[in-house]
Chain A
Amino acid sequence: MSVIRILVADDHTVMRTGLCLLLERQSGFEVAGQADDGRKTVDLAGRLMPDVVVMDIAMPHLNGIEATRQIVSRHPQTSVVILSMHSDESYVLRALKAGARAYLLKDSAETDLIQAIHAVVAGKSFFSPGISRMLLEDYIRQVQQKGVEDSYELLTTREREILQLLAEGKSNKEVSSMLNLSLYTVETHRTHILQKLNLHSVPELILYAVRKGIIS
């Protein structure tokens, strides 16, 4: 197994050092570089081509979400793990929309970071248990309050299967080859799933899956 190269971006020096220490301790991980602001992170990501960027949201010059967007669009092979103080859905949703694959709360970084990095390298999403619990609770509360029937029931078995794969971060193409379907069929399924669940994008779909406990 090759070494996973990691770029750590956080403007808080003690925090950053702590993170590096934590990562270095793991075998198979290598801290390729450190950055203390968003612009520098984008820069370094371009030069170092790390497998994973561990990214703080609140950073000077360019915030972590914007930096994620730029890195993911320029270097799709790089996965971004957001490490944030913010637990609210609006941050999670925006980070996902920007292309992040994992969202961790800083206070659980010490226990979850290693797991999250392994997950994103394997092409999966990962959320801090605190985050997924919160999203799930909100969802349950909404369903209870509105008394709306669970729209998940509307999906066919095939659609549920595809939903899970998409939520785990697979592309349409990967899904089509995994399920032996044509790319066109997968796209149609995807459109139906989004319609039935009243969602508009894959990040929203991921969030939905987390809320439902389909992925964690």
Chain B
Amino acid sequence: MEPTERKVHNNIPRPPAGRPAVAFRLALLAGFGGVFLLMAFAGIDSLRIVHRIEASNIKSDQEFLKRNDTLERIRADFYLSGSYVRDYLLDPDAASAEAHLHSLKQLRTRIETALEEYSLGLAPDERAAFTDLKARFATYWQSIDPVLSWDSRQRRTRGFHFLTRDLVQRRIEVLRIAGRIGDLNERRLHSQEQSVSALFQSFRQRLTLILATNMGLGVLLAAGTVFYILKLENDLWRRYKEILHFHGELESLSARLLRAQEEERRSIARELHDEIGQSLTALLIDAGNASALVQPGQEDLRARLASIRKLAEGSVASVRNMSLLLRPSMLDDFGLIPALHWQAREMSRRTGVRVELSADDAPDSFSDEHKTCVYRVVQEALHNCARHAHATHVRIVARQEPTRLLLVIQDNGKGFDPRHVRGLGLLGMEERVRYLGGNFHLESEPGRGTLIKVELPLVDMSEPPMKPA
């Protein structure tokens, strides 16, 4: 007994040292937040960049097409201008020559407008070629200008010569330069495409970096979390085992307490009944003997002795009651069933509740612990019936089977809800039964009485269950 009690004191659970969990939880929270923010940032950034790339792609394409178009128009108009010059020079009809001239002038204005338009979005590398082109155009128009004031004779004589010798030469030069500008324009498109792809490249790098960071952080977080969970699991398991251990300790302690209490009650009951009760009875008889010796004329003494007897009588009765209430002597003298019968009768006598006990009258061979357990359970149940349930009829069945002892207590009282009400008395009953490895079952409902069923195994219970041999 001593060493186990020592152990109880040594193993009192201590609160865990410090609280590292708070810092760790903060770190986890920050980590998860960071990963989430990073992912959100990566997503938004990607969308933005893709959008930008798309826009710039479209823009450069449109620009290219527009400039190319302008250039094509210039070229086409330029060709046309050549045709007008030729028609003007070669048309014998003065009126239609005049009309051709007019068209040519219009065309010139159009070309100049287009050139002006093209010069607006000029790239640096185009500038030289474009200046050249403009200069060539200027020379071209200069070379044409004198021709335009020729009369019909001049045109007839010199026109063909001018066409084949001067104009064709200049036209070729102009077209060459326009072609160069077209090339440049195309190169510009290409360079723009390159810049887009560079943007794309940088975007890819950035995305890769962010994703890699995220991945690394995620792996770290996962590792940390797993580690933490494992640690928690470990702690929990240890705590669980501790609780189990203390639960066991508590149970064995309370069983020992019950045993000690029962022992104490037994010895006090015996002491009261056999010693004090006997002494009081002896006193009673001796007082009677003494009063027989009283001489006539000593009535005073006789009255004294009578009062002593009366007092002793009352004391004997109360000592007997106290002793029986503590632990009825039948339990030890005759066994469980006679004690139960006594209790049933006593209950009927005191409270008027009808208590019906059905039990084999055969002598029982229950262990002391079994007897005490059943007796106390019945006592508590009857107490509840009278005190709380206000039952008028209680039925008790105690049956001994080869391997178990069955006890059923049923009352017609007001019942209760076992989910909400659980008094110390009920707990005590359950504990007593469980300590002997038995089942305690309680059924009750408001207005429907209470049923208690106890099943105690009768296999060798001489060894306490807490200490296997």
Mark A residues whose CB is within 8 Å of B. 12, 14-15, 17-19, 21-22, 25, 58, 63, 85-91, 94, 106-107, 109-111, 137-138, 141, 145-146
- Across-interface contacts of A90 in B (CB, < 8 A): 330, 334, 338-339, 341-342
Q: A141 and B349: CB pair below 8 A?
A: yes
Q: A109 and B333: CB pair below 8 A?
A: no
A25 and B273 contact, Cβ closer than 8 Å, known pairs A89-B345, A106-B281, A145-B354 = no
- Say yes or no: is B261 at the interface (Cβ < 8 Å to chain A): no
The CA-CA distance from A137 to B350 in the complex, in Å, is 12
The one of A14, A91, A111 that contacts B286, using a Cβ cutoff of 8 Å: A14
* Interface of chain B: mostly helix, strand, loop or mixed: helix
- Say yes or no: is B205 at the interface (Cβ < 8 Å to chain A): no
Q: A12 and B278: CB pair below 8 A?
A: yes
- Say yes or no: is B135 at the interface (Cβ < 8 Å to chain A): no
Q: Which residue on B lies nearest to A93, using beta carbons?
A: B338
Q: A141 and B348: CB pair below 8 A?
A: yes
Q: B329 and A109: CB pair below 8 A?
A: no
Which of B177-185, B193-201, B312-320 participates in binding chain A? B312-320
A25 and B281 contact, Cβ closer than 8 Å, known pairs A85-B320, A138-B349 = no
The one of B281, B289, B354 that contacts A85, using a Cβ cutoff of 8 Å: B281
* Interface of chain A: mostly helix, strand, loop or mixed: helix
- Across-interface contacts of A87 in B (CB, < 8 A): 320
The CA-CA distance from A22 to B288 in the complex, in Å, is 8
The CA-CA distance from A117 to B312 in the complex, in Å, is 24
Q: Which residue on B lies nearest to A56, using beta carbons?
A: B278
**Whole-angstrom distance between the Cβ of B311 and the nearest chain A Cβ:** 12
- Say yes or no: is B244 at the interface (Cβ < 8 Å to chain A): no
- Contacts A14-B279, A85-B274, A90-B341 supplied; 15 other A-B pairs, CB < 8 Å: A12-B282, A15-B279, A15-B285, A18-B282, A18-B286, A21-B289, A25-B292, A85-B316, A88-B342, A90-B330, A107-B312, A107-B313, A107-B316, A111-B288, A141-B348
A18 and B334 contact, Cβ closer than 8 Å, known pairs A85-B277, A89-B345 = no
The CA-CA distance from A73 to B281 in the complex, in Å, is 30
**Whole-angstrom distance between the Cβ of B102 and the nearest chain A Cβ:** 142
- Across-interface contacts of B348 in A (CB, < 8 A): 138, 141, 145
